[in-house]
Homo-oligomer: A and B are copies of this chain.
Amino acid sequence: MASPSRRQQASNGRRPLPFDPIAEAFRQWTTNDWGEEEAMAATTSIMRAQALILSRVDAALAPFGLTFARYEVLALLQLTRTGSLPLGKMGMRLMVHPASVTNAVDRLSDAGLVRRRPHPTDGRTTLAEITDAGRDVVTRATKELAAIRYGLDDLSDDDCRQITDIFEELRRGVDFTDTP
């Protein structure tokens, strides 16, 4: 029965402050001439937003025994014709280290949502194949994530598009190349 195993919350006990600590840091940076306060505020905001959003998404996925990292693996497989992919390819598509894929597949495999298969022609390669249980879980989990707008309930679609666009710029050349 896949143990939900509560994970981070990143917003728990801590009560909200009467002021925005990032806005305050911005002021300090400015008055002390530390430089690049816009970038500092943005980077700090991103770090904090990531933790907050991840905690929301993970909370929504916990009932399925999933985390966002595992969900991404499952979703990727679900969207593949054959329902299976080499671990290496998954790492590239998800933009994470190969070791992270190994880790996620290990856990999904333990939960019976995915199965490891040897590559038919290349002995080095391992395929991860989604199981029927995995397809069921990912379908339900996807509905749940859509219901909470992937943790971005507070933001409009316009806000989302702006974020995606700005970060696409940041990722360009690192994660992908325009026209090869």
- Residues of A whose CB lies within 8 Å of any CB of B are 10-12, 14-23, 25, 28, 32, 34-36, 38-54, 57, 68, 72, 79, 91-97, 142-143, 145-146, 149-152, 154-155, 157, 159-164, 166-177, 180
> Closest residue to A47 on the B side, CB-wise?
B50
Q: Which residues of B contact A149 (CB under 8 A)?
A: 36, 39
Contact of B166 with A16 in the complex, beta carbons under 8 Å = no
Contact of B168 with A22 in the complex, beta carbons under 8 Å = yes
> Closest residue to A55 on the B side, CB-wise?
B174
Contact of B52 with A21 in the complex, beta carbons under 8 Å = no
Our pick among B17, B20, B34 for the contact of A92 (Cβ within 8 Å) is B17
Total copies of this chain within the assembly? 2
The minimal Cβ–Cβ distance linking A106 to chain B, given in whole angstroms, is 20
Q: Which residues of B contact A175 (CB under 8 A)?
A: 11, 16-17, 20-21, 48, 52
Contact of A40 with B95 in the complex, beta carbons under 8 Å = no
The minimal Cβ–Cβ distance linking A45 to chain B, given in whole angstroms, is 4
29 contacts between A and B (CB under 8 A): A11-B174, A11-B175, A14-B91, A14-B95, A16-B175, A17-B176, A18-B176, A18-B180, A20-B168, A21-B94, A35-B146, A38-B160, A39-B149, A39-B150, A39-B157, A42-B150, A42-B159, A42-B160, A42-B161, A43-B53, A43-B152, A44-B72, A46-B49, A46-B163, A49-B170, A50-B50, A53-B170, A154-B172, A159-B166
